[in-house]
């Protein structure tokens, strides 16, 4: 396939190039796009390099697949242009997720939806929803989720390179700092503190990820509600969330309280999770996988599986996953692999 990656220098785009190579995706030609700041930059790919281009008229000509890893306004503008040039688009931004003619797909959960993309655009959900639903879908299939109450613990890399830089510049030590600086690709103090978040993120917890929207819930919280309903084909699913930013470089974690239509005990849930694709149940007696353990690997890790003692048919669980891999780039490559199979 002739593949274009838009935003190839960003956190997700960099991971995307790495995964295309790692998974032996059949790339016959790769074109990498980023801003004018990166024009001409050589990005490592498949033992050689690919030179970064800027977006311009005709830049997608001849491509079969374009993966979009830039912010929403750029995706809104350039995704339809990629489709018009004959490519299928896999989009990691939020630009098209609420469009009824654009499927939102988690590869392990609703892959068949990718085959019904009338606009030629397939969206990946946001990284928090992706991690959560990879774990919850097998339980939903077995016992139908009636309501879920979720708290997220979201890494700073969810806010892109500026988020990584901000934490790294505020912290002078800590696990993962060197890797974060390498990924951020710049001197940590360049942006200074406080550009992304108005309060320090190092050594802090900010109980508001995303911007505040309807009824006081944030954009991240509403995404989790609406995208979960769309992916699970459950328009009446009751869901509520509190999305929190924590000083973790990579890896989103969630604590979920999930009520089902029928009794689903811990043992049955554990058996379902043990064979679920893309999930590893960490049930070794500790059962408490941390964000650092989930970062850099493909599956999401589930632990702390408990039967809620306060009401029937309800489980509490913890899930953590790499927001740049399963949360974005890996899912996009998995969707591209589905397209190749077709
Ligand atoms: N980070 C996550 O965990 C995550 C997870 C799921 C989805 N997403 C979504 O994925 C997208 C990318 O996120 P990210 O975290 O990778 O962001 P990022 O690290 O900030 O990277 C942004 C990318 O956009 C490029 N860009 C900026 N202006 C451009 C322009 N005018 N023309 C072309 N390219 C331009 C940048 O190129 P330069 O390097 O040249 O500036 C860079 O490659 C966003 O929509 C985000 O919401 C992110």
| Model pLDDT for residues 179-206, shown as the tens digit of each residue | 777 777 654 443 345 789 988 888 889 9
Interval between CA 13 and ligand 1 midpoint (Å)? 7
279 lines ligand 1 (CB under 6 A): no
Mean pLDDT confidence for 264-292: 93
121 and 134 in a single domain? The answer is no
| Percent of the chain predicted with pLDDT > 90 | 87
74 and 220 in a single domain? The answer is no
142 and 244 in a single domain? The answer is yes
- Answer for the pair 94, 121: CB distance below 8 angstroms, yes or no: no
- Give the pLDDT of residue 93: 98
168 lines ligand 1 (CB under 6 A): no
Q: Is 252 a catalytic residue?
A: yes
Domain coverage including residue 287: 128-323
In the predicted model, is pLDDT for residue 63 greater than 60?
Answer: yes
149 and 121 in a single domain? The answer is no
230 and 104 in a single domain? The answer is no
160 lines ligand 1 (CB under 6 A): yes
Quote the number of domains for the chain.
2
Mean pLDDT confidence for 273-281: 97
In the predicted model, is pLDDT for residue 67 greater than 70?
Answer: yes
- Give the pLDDT of residue 173: 59
| Percent of the chain predicted with pLDDT > 70 | 95
139 and 282 in a single domain? The answer is yes
- Give the pLDDT of residue 185: 67
Q: Is 226 a catalytic residue?
A: no
196 and 104 in a single domain? The answer is no
- Give the pLDDT of residue 180: 74
- Give the pLDDT of residue 190: 38
pLDDT digits 0-9 by tens, 127-185 = 999 999 999 999 999 999 999 999 999 999 999 999 998 888 887 656 566 677 777 76
Q: Note the pTM of the prediction, 2 decimals.
A: 0.94
82 and 171 in a single domain? The answer is no
14 and 160 in a single domain? The answer is no
49 and 184 in a single domain? The answer is no
75 and 101 in a single domain? The answer is yes
The CATH number given to whatever domain includes residue 250 is 3.30.360.10
- Give the pLDDT of residue 194: 75
Q: Considering the candidates 59, 124, 127, 243, report the single residue annotated as catalytic.
A: 127
The CATH number given to whatever domain includes residue 112 is 3.40.50.720
106 and 217 in a single domain? The answer is no
Residue 324 alpha carbon, nearest atom of ligand 1? 3
- pLDDT: which is higher, 166 or 289: 289
- pLDDT: which is higher, 216 or 188: 216
Interval between CA 165 and ligand 1 midpoint (Å)? 14
Interval between CA 11 and ligand 1 midpoint (Å)? 7
In the predicted model, is pLDDT for residue 102 greater than 90?
Answer: yes
- Give the pLDDT of residue 283: 80
- pLDDT: which is higher, 184 or 332: 332
């Amino acid at each position: 396939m002739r593949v274009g990656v838009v935003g190839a220098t960003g956190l997700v785009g960099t991971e995307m190039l790495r995964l295309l190579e790692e998974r032996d995706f059949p790339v016959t030609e790769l074109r990498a796009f980023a801003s004018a700041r990166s024009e001409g930059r050589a990005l490592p790919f498949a033992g050689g390099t690919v030179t970064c281009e800027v977006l311009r008229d005709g830049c997608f000509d001849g491509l079969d697949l374009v993966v979009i890893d830039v912010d929403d306004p750029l995706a809104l503008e350039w995704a339809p242009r990629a489709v018009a040039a004959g490519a299928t688009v896999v989009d990691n931004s939020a630009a098209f997720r609420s469009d009824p003619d654009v499927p939102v797909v988690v590869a392990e959960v609703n892959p068949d939806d990718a085959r019904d993309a009338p606009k030629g655009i397939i969206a990946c959900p946001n990284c928090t929803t992706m991690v959560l639903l990879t774990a919850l879908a097998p339980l939903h299939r077995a016992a139908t989720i009636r309501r879920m109450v979720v708290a997220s613990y979201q890494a700073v890399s969810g806010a892109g390179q500026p988020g990584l830089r901000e934490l790294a510049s505020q912290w002078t030590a800590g696990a993962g700092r060197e890797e974060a600086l390498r990924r951020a690709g710049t001197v940590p103090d360049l942006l200074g503190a406080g550009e992304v978040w108005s309060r320090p993120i190092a050594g802090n917890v900010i109980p508001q990820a995303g911007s505040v929207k309807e009824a006081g819930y944030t954009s991240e919280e509403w995404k989790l509600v609406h995208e979960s309903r769309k992916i699970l084909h459950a328009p009446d699913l009751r869901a509520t969330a509190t999305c929190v930013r924590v000083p973790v470089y990579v890896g989103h974690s969630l604590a979920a309280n999930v009520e089902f239509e029928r009794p689903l005990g811990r043992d049955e849930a554990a058996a379902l999770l043990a064979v679920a694709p893309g999930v590893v149940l960490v049930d070794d007696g500790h059962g408490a996988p941390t964000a650092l353990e989930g970062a850099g690997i493909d599956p999401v890790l589930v632990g702390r599986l408990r039967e809620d003692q306060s009401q029937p048919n309800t489980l509490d669980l913890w899930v953590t996953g790499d927001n740049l891999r399963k949360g974005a780039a890996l899912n996009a490559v998995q969707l591209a692999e589905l397209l190749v199979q077709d």
